[in-house]
Amino acid sequence: MKVLLITDQHFGVRNDNIHYVERYRKFYTETVLPFIDKEGITEILCLGDTFDRRKAINFSSLEAAKDMWFRPLEDRGIKMTMLIGNHDIYFKNTLRVNSPELLLGEFNNIEIIYCPGERVIGGKLMMLVPWICDENRQACMEAIRDTDAKYCMGHFELNGFDPIPGFTMDHGDDPNLLKKFKMVCSGHFHFKSSKGNIRYLGNPCQLYWNDYGAARGFHTLNTNGSLTFYENPFKTFHKIYYNDEFNLTPKQLKDLDGMYVKVIVEDKKDQVKFDSIVRRLQAADLADLKIIEDMSYELDDVDDDIEMEDTLTILEQCVSEFENKEGIFKILKSLYMEAAEV
């Protein structure tokens, strides 16, 4: 029996941007649901951060999420077990007020996990651990210590892993906490990675320009205990490196529907041709189009384009003269990581 694993869906992402809603709809209706039907999936395990914003919900985004994902699963009789992630909670020190419980109570096929505990999923005993906060930390540690389960599924913040390429987390919980398990799967970090027995599964869709070129999708946990990754075929971001040899075919233009596109001009001698291609792109159904002609200045959108490691280098330089520079820099890194998720 295969169990579908998905995490960090972040419904309502980017301030409920309608282009992201439609990219999500395309992914779920054309890829995930057909896969579920073809493979006969009967159980889904969601590892947290189902919703994006901790303190509000856009009703249109909520209805879209129910229409494209939650109602089709209910109609198919598919059981979903859902962990609470850090984006799902209103207060940072407790999981008691959380969006899945408040927003998805109408769905009897969904079990929401806000306390650590064992469940049998796909015929395997699993330890399920929601986001660890001040209130539940002791209970989570005891549950992890006492379980005989070989599989652990959680929404962990572990040091030594990369939230995005180029930045390694140097705070959070020690991965050795989970060394007893045969396999650990976690949500939280959107960058897909693995070390030893621990696997960060990554989120299903590209959300920021930092995700450009990175594979996103979902997994299945197979009968033999192995993981299989299924890539989301619908990319959100695309770069065109323009020179006078570049040609834009009708098919290429159609494939860019709904995408965020950057045209990076490497060489432009034929102004007429360039203007023609730009007009075609402007007339297409793109989510966003940026033209970058100065290669030394690709920092046109702070939220999207500044690489994490460059920003952190700047912050580190700013505090280099302070007496407690390590402690201050650690706080700044934590604040930067939180701000990057807003």
Q: Is a pLDDT exceeding 80 seen at residue 333?
A: no
Check residues 162 and 307 and name the one with the higher pLDDT. Answer: 162
Query: Which residues are 121's β-sheet partners?
Result: 124
Per-residue confidence band for 316, with pLDDT thresholds at 50, 70 and 90: low
Q: From 111, 121, 183, 174, select the one nearest 151 (Cα to Cα).
A: 183
Structure tokens at 308: 């994490």
Structure tokens at 261: 């596109």
Residues 137 and 260 in one domain: no
Structure tokens at 252: 């290429």
Specify the amino acid at residue 33.
L
Judged by average pLDDT, the poorest of 26-40, 278-292, 310-324 is: 310-324
Residues 6+ apart with CB under 8 A from 95: 84, 88, 89, 114, 130, 131, 133, 135, 136
Query: In the chain, what percentage of residues exceed pLDDT 90?
Result: 82
Residues 113 and 247 in one domain: no
Structure tokens at 140: 């989570």
Per-residue confidence band for 329, with pLDDT thresholds at 50, 70 and 90: confident
Residue 238, pLDDT score: 96
> For the residues 279-291, what does the mean pLDDT come to?
95
Residue 304, pLDDT score: 47
> For the residues 80-100, what does the mean pLDDT come to?
97
Distance of CA 144 to the CA centre of its chain: 25
Residue 193, pLDDT score: 94
Residue 70, pLDDT score: 98
Residues 155 and 244 in one domain: no
Q: Can you count the helices (H) and strands (E) in the chain?
A: 12, 15
Structure tokens at 339: 């701000």
Residues 294 and 334 in one domain: no
Residues 218 and 285 in one domain: no
**Cα–Cα distance for residue pair 310/340, rounded to 1 Å:** 14
Residues 64 and 127 in one domain: yes
Q: Is a pLDDT exceeding 60 seen at residue 340?
A: no
Residue 339, pLDDT score: 65
Residue 317, pLDDT score: 61
> For the residues 72-91, what does the mean pLDDT come to?
98
* Domain termination site, one of 172, 207, 231: 231
Domain count, the chain: 3
Specify the amino acid at residue 54.
R
Residues 222 and 242 in one domain: no
> For the residues 292-311, what does the mean pLDDT come to?
53
What are the start-end ranges of the H helices in 40-94?
A: 59-65, 71-75
Residues 163 and 24 in one domain: yes
Domain ranges, residue 87: 3-231
> For the residues 274-285, what does the mean pLDDT come to?
95
Per-residue confidence band for 313, with pLDDT thresholds at 50, 70 and 90: low
Q: Is a pLDDT exceeding 70 seen at residue 267?
A: yes
Whether 14 contacts 22, CB under 8 Å: no
* Average pLDDT value over all residues in the chain: 91
Render 80-123 in DSSP notation, one character per residue: EEEE--GGGBSSSS-SSSBHHHHHSTT-TTEEEE-S-EEEEETT
What are the start-end ranges of the H helices in the chain?
A: 13-16, 18-27, 33-39, 59-65, 71-75, 99-103, 137-146, 250-255, 271-283, 302-305, 308-318, 325-340
pLDDT digits (tens, 9 = 90+) for 175-232: 999 999 999 999 999 999 999 999 999 999 999 998 999 999 999 999 899 999 999 9
**Cα–Cα distance for residue pair 12/334, rounded to 1 Å:** 23
**Cα–Cα distance for residue pair 45/231, rounded to 1 Å:** 17
* Domain termination site, one of 173, 204, 231: 231
Q: Is 5 helix (H, G, I), strand (E, B) or coil?
A: strand
**Cα–Cα distance for residue pair 242/274, rounded to 1 Å:** 8
Residue 283, pLDDT score: 95
CATH number at residue 220: 3.60.21.10
Per-residue confidence band for 303, with pLDDT thresholds at 50, 70 and 90: very low
Distance of CA 170 to the CA centre of its chain: 20
Q: Is a pLDDT exceeding 60 seen at residue 68?
A: yes
Residues 280 and 157 in one domain: no
**Cα–Cα distance for residue pair 260/41, rounded to 1 Å:** 33
* Domain termination site, one of 231, 257, 284: 231
Whether 251 contacts 273, CB under 8 Å: no
Scan for tokens 């901790």, then name that residue: 54
Residue 133, pLDDT score: 97
Q: Is a pLDDT exceeding 60 seen at residue 298?
A: no
Residues 6+ apart with CB under 8 A from 277: 242, 246, 248, 263
Residues 325 and 254 in one domain: no
Report CA-CA distances (Å) from 146 to 24, 117, 174: 39, 10, 18
Distance separating the N- and C-terminal Cα atoms of the chain: 37
Residues 65 and 200 in one domain: yes
Residues 218 and 259 in one domain: no
Check residues 25 and 329 and name the one with the higher pLDDT. Answer: 25
Query: Which residues are 129's β-sheet partners?
Result: 154
Q: Is a pLDDT exceeding 70 seen at residue 327?
A: yes
Check residues 339 and 99 and name the one with the higher pLDDT. Answer: 99
Residue 314, pLDDT score: 66
